[in-house]
């Protein structure tokens, strides 16, 4: 039981990261209908920017970890968003309206480019970071197997919940969210009704990149090591999460992310860890067989 | 564009470039004994930002002169059968290549690599170009073919010609196994499932050490022989080597030239197979399904079965190519079958112009030769490759050879 609880906590933390990245995939897919293959790299850039910012702050010997994290968060969000915006502007926008696979190939090209860009500029070695948030407490300590939850894990889960709530509000209550939903349903009609489609799409990319930056920051804090290759697998898992939850659906992306985090944590605890990715994709296939539109996806009606 | 506006846009671009450059170019994380330290290189940032500023300014000023930007190159009007002629010339060139003065060892080896990708591209073209299914894990079938040849040849000593069909059949079976559950899904879901499947195969090959040798891979895979006559300088007693059979001087080039013709034949087989399939009802159904699934359903075509056949046949050719790859390299490891390979093959199909057989050849030559030419700048190779992929896509979104012969014309003999 204690062991189960411990894996649950670990899985939820991991799932929060996947969920945050998955939202970026799902929003972009919902509006533009393309798989933004470079999103994993945006997340990797977010992690790198966080690491750079932490290291800079470290040279000034910052005392308060909370303040430091806040500054890094803002820096990561700003700089990573610029990357997200630029990628959309240069590589995707000119291809809007051409056939379906063109932006995908362009996105794969961007992904290869960004990966090697960071590789060239920052080197191939794993970059370590000293733990910034330490400590935690024991939840049930009856001796046999203490269940530990660290302050960092609490922070991650709380931050994710807050972000999710904020996002749901943004999509459902604000003018921007309404514009986004309009573009998702019918881009041409939205444009006719005075929605600036280009800008809405740009903002969607920026929002996705901002969330990926938060995920990157969390990754940097939680695992304490970053290299240029983390984006690929995380992007793949997050996209799997988005599909699992039903692509185009925000709660679905979060649910899918949490599920994948939990599957990984429990699989690693009981089965050979090397095959955890196989388990994730296996479950995806099984879910898609029984629910072809994902867990929370709307059934997809095609009309002539 | 008037100067003030161009200046404003250039300033904007420079600002964005500055924001992009500061965190990753301006600062470099350096490993020291005390952990990470920061190095700065703001001079690089300054150079980059000024380059963007000047470039954007010049571009903006040129745009106002009433002529389209240089990218829009007018293609000369071609005679209707130009692509057939070109294909023939290309085919004849490929046929005689090893015996021209160009045919030294390096060129022939390179040509073999290009032909492998041409064959993979043609195989994937059945799935992506004709049936319109997005397959991001094609390399998995390539891996299945390579490993099945290697394992059968190493463990049972079976010959290449026996293993080739087995590799193809096994790959096709994997295709059916994967396709059966997921082909009912919407197109983009197929993409992620195939992508996941490709990763799954790689992870299994990497970790199932007793079966596949793990990350060390499989070594000493038997080299092909000329229908039983090996390409060795000193054959074992009782065996006749290839050069003895034909009374030639022994040369290591003979084996490479044989490999070259082998892959050439395999690739041509793929091509003819595809061209013939397009004339059969099943091939017509593939293309019809790509264009409009609902109309196909209404006409009584079973989409799942039709898609499954395309998927399995594409996988089969991937398997053939994999078997050839294994015998050519003599060594395979899971590293040869990563996602980048899938992406390159898909890029070949899409850059070639989806469904165009000739386009695949041109795109394969392009994408394999670019990294090869950049060999001297090996650290910049992949970054240039990614950049080129984006640029070509922006330049010709519809692919290099966008024109596709219709399979059937009304009122003409098909």
Each residue of B94-119: pLDDT tens digit?
887 777 777 788 888 888 999 999 99
**Between chains, do B29 and A51 touch, taking CB under 8 Å as contact?**
yes
Q: Is A304 on the interface with B (CB under 8 A)?
A: yes
- Residue B214, sorted as left (phi over 0), alpha (psi -120 to 50) or beta, turns out to be left
Predicted TM-score (pTM) of the model is 0.86
Task: Assign B62 a pLDDT band (cuts: 50, 70, 90).
Answer: confident
> What percentage of chain B exceeds 70 in pLDDT?
89
SS3 content of chain A, % helix, strand, coil (to 5): 75, 5, 20
Instruction: Give the number of other Cβ atoms within 10 Å of residue A100's Cβ.
Output: 13
Mean of the per-residue pLDDT values for chain A? 86
Judged by average pLDDT, the poorest of B19-23, B226-230, B301-305 is B226-230
pLDDT of residue B414: 43
User: For chain B, what's the residue count?
Assistant: 414
CA distance A277 to A268: 10
Q: Quick check: A76 pLDDT over 90?
A: yes
Q: Is B395 on the interface with A (CB under 8 A)?
A: no
Q: Do A235 and B192 touch, CB atoms closer than 8 A?
A: no
**Between chains, do A29 and B23 touch, taking CB under 8 Å as contact?**
no
Encoded tokens for A136: 């935690």
Judged by average pLDDT, the poorest of A75-79, A137-141, B76-80, B305-309 is B76-80
pLDDT of residue B69: 47
Find the mean pLDDT for residues B271-286.
Answer: 89
**Distance (Å) from the alpha carbon of B192 to chain A's nearest alpha carbon:** 7
Domain boundaries, chain A: 2-290
Task: Assign B144 a pLDDT band (cuts: 50, 70, 90).
Answer: very high
Instruction: Give the number of other Cβ atoms within 10 Å of residue A39's Cβ.
Output: 30
Find the mean pLDDT for residues A281-303.
Answer: 76
Of the residues B193, B389, B400, B402, the best mutation for testing chain A's interface (the one with the most A CB atoms within 10 Å of its CB) is B389
Find the mean pLDDT for residues B343-366.
Answer: 85
Judged by average pLDDT, the poorest of A136-150, B166-180, B293-307 is A136-150
Q: B74-99: per-residue pLDDT in tens?
A: 555 566 677 777 788 888 888 877 77
From chain B, pick out residues whose CB is under 8 angstroms from the CB of A246. Answer: none
**Between chains, do B186 and A118 touch, taking CB under 8 Å as contact?**
no
Torsion sign across C-alpha atoms A123, A125, A126, A132: negative
Encoded tokens for A209: 């990149």
Find the mean pLDDT for residues B123-146.
Answer: 90
Q: Is B12 on the interface with A (CB under 8 A)?
A: no
Rg of chain B in Å (alpha carbons): 25
Q: B27-36: per-residue pLDDT in tens?
A: 888 777 666 7
The answer regarding whether domain A2-290 maps to CATH 1.10.3470 reads: yes
Question: Three-state SS across A186-255?
Answer: CHHHHHHCCCCHHHHHHHHHHHHHHHHHHHHHHHHHHHCEECCCHHHHHHHHHHHHHHHHCCCCHHHHHH
**Distance (Å) from the alpha carbon of A120 to chain B's nearest alpha carbon:** 8
Judged by average pLDDT, the poorest of A49-63, A114-128, B97-111, B225-239 is B225-239
Of the residues A113, A236, A245, A268, the best mutation for testing chain B's interface (the one with the most B CB atoms within 10 Å of its CB) is A113
**Between chains, do B25 and A121 touch, taking CB under 8 Å as contact?**
yes
CA–centroid distance for B44 within its chain: 35
Identify the DSSP state of A149.
Answer: E
Q: Is B390 on the interface with A (CB under 8 A)?
A: yes
Q: Is A160 on the interface with B (CB under 8 A)?
A: no
Report H helices in A91-130: 101-122
pLDDT of residue A217: 93
Q: Do A226 and A219 touch, CB atoms closer than 8 A?
A: yes
Identify the DSSP state of B27.
Answer: E
Q: Do A220 and A226 touch, CB atoms closer than 8 A?
A: yes
Task: Assign B412 a pLDDT band (cuts: 50, 70, 90).
Answer: low
Backbone angles phi, psi at B34, to 5 degrees: -90, 20
CA distance B84 to B100: 23
**Distance (Å) from the alpha carbon of A134 to chain B's nearest alpha carbon:** 18
CA distance A69 to A28: 28
**Between chains, do A127 and B29 touch, taking CB under 8 Å as contact?**
yes
């Amino acid at each position: 039981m204690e062991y189960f609880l411990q894996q649950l906590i670990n899985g939820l933390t991991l799932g929060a990261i996947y969920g945050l990245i998955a939202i970026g995939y799902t929003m972009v897919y919902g509006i533009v209908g393309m798989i933004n293959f470079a999103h994993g790299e945006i997340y990797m850039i977010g992690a790198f920017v966080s690491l750079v910012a932490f290291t800079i702050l470290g040279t000034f010997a910052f005392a308060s970890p909370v303040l430091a994290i806040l500054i890094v968060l803002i820096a990561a969000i700003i700089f990573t968003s610029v990357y997200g915006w630029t990628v959309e502007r240069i590589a995707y926008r000119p291809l809007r309206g051409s056939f379906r696979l063109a932006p995908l190939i362009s996105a794969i090209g961007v992904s290869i480019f960004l990966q090697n860009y960071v590789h060239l500029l920052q080197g191939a070695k794993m970059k370590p970071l000293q733990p910034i948030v330490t400590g935690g407490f024991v939840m049930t300590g009856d001796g046999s197997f203490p269940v530990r939850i660290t302050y960092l894990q609490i922070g991650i889960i709380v931050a994710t919940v807050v972000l999710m709530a904020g996002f749901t509000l943004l999509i459902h209550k604000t003018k921007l969210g309404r514009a986004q939903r309009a573009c998702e349903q019918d881009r041409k009609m939205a444009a006719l009704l005075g929605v600036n489609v280009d800008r809405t799409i740009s903002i969607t990319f920026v929002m996705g990149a901002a969330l990926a930056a938060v995920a990157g920051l969390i990754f940097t804090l939680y695992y304490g090591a970053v290299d240029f290759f983390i984006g690929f697998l995380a992007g793949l898992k997050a996209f799997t999460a988005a599909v699992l939850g039903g692509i185009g659906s925000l709660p679905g992306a979060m649910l899918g992310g949490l599920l994948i985090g939990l599957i990984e944590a429990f699989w690693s605890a009981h089965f050979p860890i090397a095959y955890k990715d196989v388990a994730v994709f296996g479950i995806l296939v099984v879910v898609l067989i029984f629910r072809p539109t994902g867990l929370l996806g709307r059934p997809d009606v095609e009309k002539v | 564009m008037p100067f003030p506006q161009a200046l404003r846009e250039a300033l904007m671009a420079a600002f964005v470039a500055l924001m992009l450059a500061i965190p990753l170019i301006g600062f470099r994380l350096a490993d020291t004994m005390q952990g990470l330290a920061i190095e700065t290189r703001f001079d690089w940032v300054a150079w980059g930002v000024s380059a963007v500023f000047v470039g954007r300014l010049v571009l903006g000023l040129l745009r106002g002169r009433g002529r389209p930007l240089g990218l829009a190159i007018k293609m000369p009007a071609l005679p209707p059968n130009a692509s057939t002629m070109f294909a023939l010339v290309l085919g004849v060139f490929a046929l005689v290549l090893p015996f021209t003065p160009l045919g030294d060892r390096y060129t022939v080896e390179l040509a073999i690599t290009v032909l492998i990708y041409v064959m993979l591209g043609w195989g994937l073209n059945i799935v992506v170009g004709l049936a319109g299914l997005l397959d991001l894990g094609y390399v998995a079938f390539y891996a299945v073919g390579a490993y099945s040849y290697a394992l059968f040849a190493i463990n049972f000593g079976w010959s290449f010609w026996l293993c080739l069909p087995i590799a193809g059949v096994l790959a096709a079976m994997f295709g059916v196994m994967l396709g059966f559950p997921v082909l009912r899904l919407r197109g983009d879901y197929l993409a992620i499932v195939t992508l996941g499947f490709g990763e799954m195969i790689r992870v299994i090959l990497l970790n199932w050490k007793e079966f596949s040798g793990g990350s060390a891979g499989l070594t000493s895979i038997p080299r092909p022989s000329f229908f039983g006559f090996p390409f060795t300088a000193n054959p074992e007693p009782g065996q006749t080597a290839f050069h003895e059979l034909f009374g030639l001087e022994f040369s290591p080039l003979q084996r490479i030239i044989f490999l070259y013709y082998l892959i050439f034949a395999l690739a041509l087989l793929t091509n003819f197979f595809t061209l013939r399939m397009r004339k059969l009802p099943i091939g017509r159904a593939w293309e019809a399904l790509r264009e409009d699934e609902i109309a196909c359903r209404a006409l009584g075509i079973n989409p799942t079965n039709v898609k499954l056949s395309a998927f399995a046949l594409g996988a089969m050719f991937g398997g053939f190519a994999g078997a050839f790859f294994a015998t050519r390299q003599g060594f395979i490891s899971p590293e040869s079958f990563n996602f980048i390979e899938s992406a390159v093959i898909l890029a070949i199909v899409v850059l070639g112009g989806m469904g165009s057989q000739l386009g695949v050849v041109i795109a394969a030559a392009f994408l394999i030769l670019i990294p090869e030419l950049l060999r001297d700048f090996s650290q910049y190779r992949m970054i240039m490759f990614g950049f080129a992929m984006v640029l070509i896509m922006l330049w010709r979104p519809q692919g290099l050879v966008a024109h596709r012969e219709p399979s059937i014309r009304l009122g003409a003999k098909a």
